[in-house]
Amino acid sequence: MTAPNPIAFEIFGIEVRWYGVLMAIAVLFGMLVACKRAKKYDISVDRILDFVLIAVPLAFVGARMYYVIFNYDDYKGSITAMLNVRAGGLAIHGALIAGILATIVLCKVWKYDIWNFLDMVAPCVAIGQAIGRWGNFFNSEAHGGITNLPWAIIVNGQKVHPTFLYESIWCLILFFILIVKDRDFKGQIALLYGILYSFERFFVEYLRTDSLMLFGRIKQAMLLSAIVFAVCTIVYFYKKSVAKKEGKIFAFGTSKYKGKFKR
């Protein structure tokens, strides 16, 4: 399998790339899922739309800043190059950091429970990632090393691991896990996302050949994934134990709080 033309179409001589098209589709699907989930979490659809208009652009800014910081030698002295994202160059960890910070601030302003809001939005992020990763395919980026596996993709004449595909499939599975999961406590869905996504990213990042590096030899995504996995796991079981002590979780893990949590 070889990546097709990265350019989807042109408008008045301006190239519109599949990368951007897929990112837009990812945001749209995420927003639709959020609107569908909003009522269950006591969140108004108007707030979802406000959130998309504010947090999504900030997430893209965070994704680009993160990527540029770890590739600064390639961009120093050229503001134009730093701002040009049509050919790719976004880091999901930067987007997640910026998105979480935006969520915390907006929830404080709107007087929403932060954990409740994160539970609502976590599956939306997962489906967005599942779709958005295909932008890497069209850009022939975010791939792994040489392999002879039958599902390999061809980049520069060589068969390589389609690591974008591994992550896309994992995030799609994660999406379905998160939308069917009943909560035993606030934060459970968000923390489960953090645990499962970090688990996958750690191993997939090991296969990648274009990783952002720390000190020239440490793959920062692997390090960050390990930290996030550990922190989310600890918080997950701590919050679960607290909920159990408060009598909110039955012995076999079922919850008295099926359905809607009050914010």
45-70 vs 92-110: helix axis angle to the nearest 10?
Answer: 140
**What is residue 247's predicted lDDT score, i.e. its pLDDT?**
75
Question: What average pLDDT does this structure show over 113-129?
Answer: 97
Alpha helix (H) residue ranges in the chain: 18-38, 45-70, 72-75, 79-83, 92-110, 114-132, 134-138, 163-180, 188-207, 220-245
Model pLDDT, residue 190 = 98
- pLDDT recorded at residue 252: 42
Which is more confident, 30 or 12?
30
Reply yes or no on whether the pLDDT at 137 is more than 70: yes
Structure tokens at 177: 């896990």
**How crowded is the C-beta side of 241, counted as CA atoms within 13 Å?**
6
Q: How confident is the model at residue 255 (pLDDT cuts 50, 70, 90)?
A: very low
**What percentage of the chain carries pLDDT values higher than 70?**
93
* 260: pLDDT strictly greater than 50: no
- Please report, to the nearest 10 degrees, the dihedral formed by the alpha carbons of residues 12, 8, 51, 231 taken in order: -140
Q: Which of 195, 222, 183, 190 is nearest to 206 (CA)?
A: 222
β-strand pairing of 158-160 with 218-219: unpaired
pLDDT for 258 equals 47
Return the C-alpha torsion angle 149, 153, 156, 157, nearest 10. 50
Which residues lie below 8 Å from residue 126, measured CB to CB, with a gap of 6+?
171, 172, 174, 175, 178, 193, 197
Poorest-confidence range of 25-29, 55-59, 132-136, 247-251?
247-251
Q: Are 67 and 90 in contact (CB under 8 A)?
A: yes
- CA distance readout (Å), 98 to 59, 61, 212: 5, 8, 18
Please give the pLDDT value at position 249: 63
Q: To the nearest whole number, what is the mean pLDDT of the chain? A: 90
Q: Is the pTM of this model over 0.85?
A: yes
Neighbours of 137 (CB within 10 A): 24
Burial of 156 (0-12, 13-18, 19+ CB in 10 A): exposed
User: Considering the chain, what percentage of its residues have pLDDT values greater than 90?
Assistant: 68
Taking only the tens place, the pLDDT of each residue in 157-176 is 999 999 999 999 999 999 99
Tell me the HSE value of 201 on the side-chain side, using a 13 A CA sphere: 27
86-119 pLDDT, tens digit each: 666 889 999 999 999 999 999 999 999 999 999 9
3-class secondary-structure state, position 11:
strand
pLDDT in tens, 20-57: 999 999 999 999 999 999 999 999 999 999 999 999 99
Which one has a higher pLDDT value, 148 or 87?
Answer: 148
> Which range, of 15-19, 24-28, 141-145, 243-247, averages the lowest pLDDT?
243-247
- Rounded to an integer, what distance in angstroms lies between the CA atom of residue 256 and that of residue 263? 16
pLDDT of 169 reads 98
* Structure tokens, 140: 């022939």
Token pair for residue 227? 């930290």
